[in-house]
Amino acid sequence: MSKDDTLPRRRWVMDLKVAADSEDELVLALEQIATEFARGGLREGFASGGPASGWCGETSEDPTMTHDRYFQEIELWKDAGRP
């Protein structure tokens, strides 16, 4: 873990921006994103758009990050006096 103020990151991180014309369309877009990711897609930069919604984002994986390591790094981050 670096010495800066950056929080530790989990194994999978998806930075995502979604826009939609209605709440229902937003829910549908998020469901489509989850389904595509579960099928092995959306692993790098991606974008999609349609008549009622659109999204773009990027996914990254740190295969060295485990659940236990993440929480160890969180504790180190907190012990370093970060909020």
The reported pLDDT for the residue numbered 3 is 47
pTM over 0.85: no
| Domain segments of the chain as ranges | 12-79
Give dist(CA 21, CA 28) in Å, integer: 11
Binning the chain into helix, strand and coil, the percentages to the nearest 5 are 35, 30, 35
The reported pLDDT for the residue numbered 6 is 84
Q: Which residues neighbour 11 within 8 Å (Cβ) at sequence distance 6 or greater? A: 61, 62, 63, 65, 66, 70
Q: Copy the structure tokens of residue 53.
A: 């919604």
From first to last of the 83 residues of the chain, give the pLDDT tens digit: 444 568 899 999 999 999 999 999 999 999 999 999 999 999 989 999 999 999 999 999 999 999 999 999 999 999 887 65
